[in-house]
């Protein structure tokens, strides 16, 4: 399984989560085995950081074979795109990516609630 995280930093598992999936400067991709052990961690610059059209970032994440996208917040339209790609969306995450990963793998971090229009809602 590959889990993608929106990130403000290029520090792998030590990176801080970004509040928004599409406007973050980096994505951290964590490959997990069947025993929830970390196999690989890579960080990539967001190729759409300076601007993107709807659907481009979900396609980019899908092209990296991610099964899960974890972010601080996300709009309803983006959630729909991820659903079309079969990618689980989890929002409401904050803090260090390594800690967020532990929360997700233990089942303490689940589900999503899309942001409101204009970034209102849980996307502060």
Q: What is the pLDDT of residue 41?
A: 98
The per-residue pLDDT for range 8-54, each reduced to its tens digit, is 999 999 999 998 888 899 999 999 999 999 999 999 999 988 876 77
pLDDT in tens, 67-95: 999 999 998 899 999 999 999 999 999 99
- Scan for tokens 């980096």, then name that residue: 26
Q: How many domains does the chain have?
A: 1
21: domain CATH number is 3.30.420.130
Q: Which residue has the tokens 């793998």?
A: 105
Q: Report how far residue 12's alpha carbon sits from residue 124's, in angstroms, rounded to the nearest whole number.
A: 23
Q: Rounded to two decimals, what is the model's pTM?
A: 0.90
Calpha distance 46→72 (Å, rounded): 16
Is residue 124 included in any domain, yes or no?
no
Side-chain half-sphere exposure of 66, counting CA atoms within 13 A: 27
Count how many residues are written for the chain: 124
pLDDT computed for residue 54 by the predictor: 76
The confidence band for 120, taking pLDDT boundaries of 50, 70 and 90, is: very low
Residue 34 structural domain: 2-116
Is residue 122 assigned to a domain?
no
């Amino acid at each position: 399984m590959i889990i993608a995280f929106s990130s403000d930093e290029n520090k792998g598992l030590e990176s801080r989560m970004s509040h928004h999936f599409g406007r973050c400067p980096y994505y951290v991709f964590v490959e997990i085995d069947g025993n929830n052990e970390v196999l690989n961690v890579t960080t990539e610059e967001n190729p759409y950081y300076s601007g993107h059209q709807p659907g481009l970032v979900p396609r980019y994440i899908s092209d990296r074979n991610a099964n899960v996208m974890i972010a601080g917040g996300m709009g309803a339209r983006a959630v729909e795109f991820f659903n079309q790609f079969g990618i689980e969306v989890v929002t409401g995450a904050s803090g260090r990516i390594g800690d967020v990963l532990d929360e997700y793998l233990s089942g303490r971090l689940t589900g999503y609630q899309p942001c409101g229009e204009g970034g209102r809602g849980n996307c502060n």
